[in-house]
A and B are shown apart, each in its own frame.
Chain A
Amino acid sequence: MIIAVPVDEMEENSPVCISFGRAPFYLIFDDEEKKFDYFDNNSAFNAQGGAGIKAAQSLVDRNVDIVITFRCGENASKVLNGKAKIYKAEKVNAKMNIEMFIAGNLQLLNKVSPGLHGHSVQGEK
Chain B
Amino acid sequence: MKIAVLSGKGGTGKTFVSVNLVNSTENTDYYDCDVEEPNGDLFFQSKLIQELPVKVLLPSFDKEKCNACHECVDACSFNALALIGKDMLLFESICHSCGVCSFVCKQKAISEVPKQTGVIKIGKAGDSKVVTGKLNMGEAIGVPVISGVLDLMDEDRNSIIDCPPGSACSVVESTQKADYCLIVAEPTSFGFHNFKMVEQLARVLKKPFAVVVNKAESKNNIVSSYCKKNKIKVLDTFLFNRKIAQDNSRGEICTSVDDKMKARFISLLDNINDDWQRSLK
Which residues from chain A sit less than 8 Å from chain B, CB to CB?
Answer: 44, 47-51, 53-54, 56-57, 60-61, 75, 78-79, 82-83, 117, 119-125
CB–CB B84/A60 < 8 A: yes
Number of interface residues of B (CB under 8 A): 21
Instruction: Specify which of A53, A54, A120 is in contact with B92 (CB 8 Å cutoff).
Output: A120
What are some 23 contacts across the A-B interface (CB < 8 A)? A44-B79, A48-B77, A48-B78, A53-B79, A53-B80, A53-B82, A53-B91, A54-B79, A56-B82, A57-B79, A60-B83, A60-B84, A78-B89, A79-B82, A83-B84, A117-B93, A117-B94, A119-B92, A119-B138, A122-B90, A123-B90, A125-B84, A125-B87
Counting chain A CB atoms within 10 Å of each CB, the highest count among B58, B70, B91 belongs to B91
CB–CB B79/A50 < 8 A: yes
Residues of chain A contacted by B90 (CB below 8 angstroms): 121-123
Top 5 A-B pairs ranked by shortest CB distance? Answer: A50-B79, A117-B93, A122-B90, A79-B82, A54-B79
- B96 and chain A: residue at smallest CB distance: A49
Residues of chain A contacted by B58 (CB below 8 angstroms): 122
Interface residues of B in 64-79 (CB under 8 A from A): 70, 73, 77-79
The reply to whether the CB of B88 lies closer than 8 angstroms to some CB of chain A is: yes
Counting chain B CB atoms within 10 Å of each CB, the highest count among A51, A78, A122 belongs to A122
CB–CB B84/A50 < 8 A: no
- B61 and chain A: residue at smallest CB distance: A123
The reply to whether the CB of B140 lies closer than 8 angstroms to some CB of chain A is: yes
CA distance A57 to B90 in the complex (A): 12
CA distance A54 to B94 in the complex (A): 12
Instruction: Specify which of B61, B82, B138 is in contact with A60 (CB 8 Å cutoff).
Output: B82
State whether A117 and B140 are in contact (beta carbons under 8 Å apart), knowing that A49-B78, A122-B90 are contacts in the complex: yes
CB–CB A121/B78 < 8 A: no
- B73 and chain A: residue at smallest CB distance: A57
CA distance A56 to B89 in the complex (A): 12
- A21 and chain B: residue at smallest CB distance: B79
CA distance A49 to B78 in the complex (A): 5
Instruction: Specify which of A47, A120, A123, A125 is in contact with B79 (CB 8 Å cutoff).
Output: A47
**Given A60-B82, A119-B92, A119-B138, 18 new contacts (CB under 8 A):** A48-B78, A49-B94, A50-B94, A53-B79, A53-B94, A54-B79, A56-B82, A57-B82, A75-B94, A78-B82, A78-B89, A83-B84, A117-B91, A121-B92, A122-B89, A123-B88, A124-B89, A125-B84
